């Protein structure tokens, strides 16, 4: 448990207000999504650069940034940054497995950040920047765990540390505020902290 529930901020019953329309491709960020598409939620540090990485992948239908893995319902960005919601910054990725197999999506995930850093990503420090994979079915969970084992072997051979990525079934995804959605499309010169280990992931 990242946070003692008794210390968690109360949050709110009402979701944060936002348009629900993806600023890059015009698709709805809200369900229902097209048939035969799958959903996975990924955390790899600050969600601005992470979302741009995923919306550019062929086979991704739509992305949205938000908060997951914690306790506080419908948290704000400011609340999440206190560490008292238990959430990490994440990207919800809706993708077509026929075009973009999960194993390939996971390879991109592992190679785009350093999953050995615990409660940080580079200079971004705090539980809201921890690495995480939140799955929406049993097959995704098993595939994610296999990919972690495969990447750990490569990292160990390269002299890197142990993966700290949290892998668990998704319990809730809370959409972030409108200004965070597709932030680097709206602010092309904005901050992007993505930086991998330089070690290739032997999957996909």
Q: Considering 27, 46, 192, 201, which one is annotated as catalytic? A: 46
Q: Phi then psi for 74, rounded to 5 degrees?
A: 50, 55
Neighbour-count burial of 198, counting CB atoms closer than 10 A to its CB (0-12 exposed, 13-18 middle, 19+ buried): exposed
Closest CA to 181 of 48, 68, 45: 48
CB-based contact 86:127 (threshold 8 Å): yes
Catalytic residue flag (residue 46): yes
3-state secondary structure 34-96: CCCCEEEEEEECCHHHHHHHHHCCCCEEEEEEEEECCCCCCCCHHHHCCCCCCCEEEEEEEEC
Q: Locate tokens 């950040």: which residue?
A: 113
Closest CA to 134 of 168, 103, 106, 101: 168
Q: List active site positions.
A: 46
């Amino acid at each position: 448990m990242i946070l003692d529930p008794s210390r968690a901020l109360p949050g709110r019953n009402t979701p944060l207000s936002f348009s629900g329309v993806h600023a890059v491709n015009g698709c709805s960020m809200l369900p229902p999504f097209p048939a035969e598409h799958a959903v996975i939620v990924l955390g790899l540090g600050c969600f601005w650069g992470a979302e741009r990485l995923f919306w550019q992948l062929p086979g991704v239908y739509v992305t949205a940034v938000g908060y997951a893995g914690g306790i506080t319902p419908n948290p704000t960005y400011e609340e999440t940054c206190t560490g008292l919601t238990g959430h990490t910054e994440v990207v919800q990725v809706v993708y077509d497995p026929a075009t973009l197999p999960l194993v390939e999506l996971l390879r991109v995930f592992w190679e785009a950040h350093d999953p050995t850093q615990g409660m940080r990503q580079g200079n971004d420090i705090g539980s809201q920047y921890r690495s995480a994979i939140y799955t929406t079915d049993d097959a995704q969970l098993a595939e994610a765990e296999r990919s972690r084992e495969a990447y750990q072997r490569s990292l160990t051979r390269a002299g890197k540390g142990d993966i700290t990525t949290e892998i668990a079934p998704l319990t809730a995804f809370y959409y972030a505020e409108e200004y965070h959605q597709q932030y680097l499309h709206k602010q092309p010169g904005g901050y992007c902290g993505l930086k991998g280990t330089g070690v290739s992931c032997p999957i996909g």
